[in-house]
Amino acid sequence: MKATFTLLFLLNLSFVSYSQNDVEVLVDYMVGSFSSEEQAEKDSSFFNIELEMVQLWKDRADGPWIYIEQAVAETKDKPYRQRVYQLRKRNDGNIESIVYSIPNPLRFAGDYKKEFPLLRLTPDSLVLRAGCEVFLYRADDGYFEGGTVEKNCSSDLRGASYATSEVMIDKDKMITWDRGFDEIGNQVWGATKGGYIFKKKLSRFQKR
């Protein structure tokens, strides 16, 4: 991720044709178990993080919907981030990932293991994180890349005023760089060297 996502809107991007729907490919890339263990072993400034992503509510026509659960490997039963993403194809050919938070999320910790995760939850009970949408485009090499827009995603975590996310998603790995900044642009949380590199272990389909 050498350029910030803001530059994507300034570029005249050309899209290539693929035999499979881009959204379906993105879901296939996203769903599965991921780990940053390899990166953490090489650089102690990164933690060993486990990331789980599963598809929800497959019978709905307004998706796909993805549940994500993120935790430090040593305390995987106590995730520090639980979100739901709703993917939508935009008219410009890009894909929008709408971000929702979950009320009382810890009650669903470990739900990714279930055949029907978050069964007790419905989309209308989620809380929209307005401005935190991630916009993704598909590069010629087939991977997806993008991020949030400028300072649109508000955050009050650890003194932050806003948060940014930059993402690269490929078939066997995912790089995410989440950072929080105060009102004058000083970084107050998140990795400083670059994004977390999550290597894909097994997809949900492969587990069955």
User: Structural domains in the chain?
Assistant: 20-200 (2.40.128.590)
pLDDT surpassing 60 at residue 63: yes
Among the ranges given (15-29, 77-91, 174-188), the one the predictor scored with the smallest mean pLDDT = 15-29
Q: Taking residues 54-60, report their average pLDDT.
A: 93
| pLDDT range class, residue 93, cuts 50, 70, 90 | confident
With a pLDDT cut of 90, the percent of the chain lying above it is 81
Q: Sorting pLDDT into bands at 50, 70 and 90, what band is 120?
A: confident
pLDDT-derived band at 15 (thresholds 50, 70, 90) equals very low
Decide if 144 contacts 138 (C-beta within 8 A). Answer: yes
pLDDT band for position 203 (cuts 50, 70, 90)? low
Note the pLDDT tens digit of each residue in 132-164.
999 999 999 999 999 999 999 999 999 999 999
